[in-house]
Structure 1
Amino acid sequence: MRINKLLSNLGFCSRRETNRLIEENRVTVNGELCEPGQWVEEGDVILIDNKPIPVKDKIYIVLNKPVGIICTAAKEIENNIINFINYPEYIFPVGRLDKASQGLILMTNDGDLANKILESESEHEKEYIVTVNKTFDDDFLKGMAEGVEIRGGKTRHCKVTRVNEDTFRIILTQGLNKQIRRMSKVFGYTVIRLERIRIVNIKIDGIDIGKWRNLTEEEVVELRNL
């Protein structure tokens, strides 16, 4: 894999930070200065500041993201999630939750597990509570559940139930960009509040907005078994 991906997967630093280290001539591969985007093999000797890549303890966090925070590891972007959580070690968000939405987002330094979760994103459940700008009838719920034509394709069947006159609960097994907002718009509704409350077995219960907790060992094992 490329050197950037390797250092990110090992939890050492971000891909962008890897570029900075390479530009500063601090990374060598088999005794030669590393080049940006260089492909590396398992047996290569990779040194940073003439030292082997340190082995980092794996970190697994679930954050209740507030509205207005952007799920990016790019620290130069205003209101990014990395600066918001201000964790002392390098971690990054797994997937995304758009700026206008709030709720559960996983963060880790385990690149292998993050890749596994993202690769299986179309197979595991994500649950949301959604409020729209006006009341809806049962036909709206039925239409959302049966799939909606957005961006040139039809969304997968999903579970949708009423919470009250303008709020519904939806469980997706897809991860399309702004999927719920786009689906609702097809029926003439605008989402005014969207909260993700669950990913697979991980729930947001007991985590205040802007706060986080470590995943339990059982939760991590279940994610690894996805």
Structure 2
Amino acid sequence: MRVNKYISEAGICSRREADELLVAGRVTINDAVVGMGAKALDGDIVRVDGEVVVARTLAPASPKNRAIYIALNKPVGITCTTDQTVDGNIVDFVDHAQRIFPIGRLDKDSEGLILLTSNGDIVNEILRAENGHEKEYLVAVNKAVTDEFLSAMAKGVRIHGQMTKPCRTRRIAKYGFSIVLTQGLNRQIRLMAAEFGYRVTQLRRVRIVNVKLGHLKIGQWRNLTEAELKGLLPQRTQW
């Protein structure tokens, strides 16, 4: 396997970024610096900046374990579309070896956790509002957060001609709060805040159900663990 693909599939970075690491001389195989086009064979030890790259798999290969499930820390400016004619589309950004697509969306102006998969059968199950799947966000706004604002947001706000579902809110800073939603209307948090005269200056999603952003750096992705999949997917879903 080409080493750029090996590094990418280990969740270190995209294949394009792996190429840049190779050009910069930051990749070694068996302690020898390698460049573009190098291949990693069975038993080879691949390192990036001296750290061993461990190939990640969900489970031993079998028909039901071949689907891809990854968590990406999406940067601002990346669009959650599979249309590769769109500059900055998420498919080209991740540059995965297999065909994948995002589960739901995260606004181009927002950052944080988004899940991608090659298994289209589970997308509707995860996104369906009546399933009550929680999504948690950290939000910065342009003026001080008040108890009245948080209470009103939690009760529901009329946007897109409908009332949003009740949600949980919590102050985390003078100009920041967290919010936990169980629905995903277009630009929901921004529009909700605007109804009370607030402008969102930064929005980061940090959790989807039991999957947390954690220490994943902006622009990086990783494979979901088996524990995360069991908490996220319906029991009847074959993954």
Deviation at 1:121, TM superposition (A): 6.4
Partner of residue 112, structure 2: 103
Partner of residue 64, structure 1: 73
Q: Which runs of 5+ in 1 are unaligned?
A: 1-53
Partner of residue 31, structure 1: none
CA contact (8 A) 1:146 1:156 kept: yes
CA contact (8 A) 1:132 1:167 kept: yes
DSSP 3-state at the match of 2:97: coil
* Alpha-carbon distance in 2 for matches of 1:105, 1:121: 20
Partner of residue 214, structure 2: 205
Deviation at 1:202, TM superposition (A): 0.1
CA contact (8 A) 2:145 2:171 kept: no
Superposed CA offset, 1:21-42 (max 9, x none): xxxxxxxxxxxxxxxxxxxxxx
* Alpha-carbon distance in 1 for matches of 2:124, 2:151: 33
Partner of residue 36, structure 1: none
1:217 aligns with 2:226: yes
* Alpha-carbon distance in 2 for matches of 1:121, 1:176: 13
* Alpha-carbon distance in 2 for matches of 1:133, 1:56: 46
Normalised to the residue count of structure 1, the TM-score between the two structures is 0.73
Partner of residue 162, structure 1: 171
Deviation at 1:137, TM superposition (A): 1.4
CA contact (8 A) 1:70 1:80 kept: yes
Deviation at 1:56, TM superposition (A): 8.8
Partner of residue 194, structure 1: 203
Deviation at 1:88, TM superposition (A): 1.1
1:147 aligns with 2:156: yes
Aligned-pair Cα RMSD in Å: 1.7
DSSP 3-state at the match of 1:140: helix
Within 5 Å, give how 1:165-176 maps onto structure 2: 165-176=174-185
Change in 2 beyond 3 A, CA 1:141/1:56? closer
CA contact (8 A) 1:72 1:80 kept: yes
* Alpha-carbon distance in 1 for matches of 2:130, 2:113: 15
* Alpha-carbon distance in 1 for matches of 2:66, 2:103: 17
Superposed CA offset, 1:49-107 (max 9, x none): xxxxx999210100000000000011111100011111111110000000000000000
* Alpha-carbon distance in 2 for matches of 1:93, 1:102: 14
Task: Percent identity, please.
Answer: 52
Deviation at 1:120, TM superposition (A): 4.5
Paired residue type of 1:216: T
Within 5 Å, give how 1:79-158 maps onto structure 2: 79-120=88-129, 123-158=132-167
DSSP 3-state at the match of 2:204: strand
CA contact (8 A) 2:129 2:182 kept: no
Change in 2 beyond 3 A, CA 1:178/1:57? same
Paired residue type of 1:166: Y
Normalised to the residue count of structure 2, the TM-score between the two structures is 0.69
Q: Which runs of 5+ in 2 are unaligned?
A: 1-62
* Alpha-carbon distance in 1 for matches of 2:94, 2:221: 8
* Alpha-carbon distance in 2 for matches of 1:55, 1:201: 22
Partner of residue 40, structure 1: none
Deviation at 1:119, TM superposition (A): 2.5
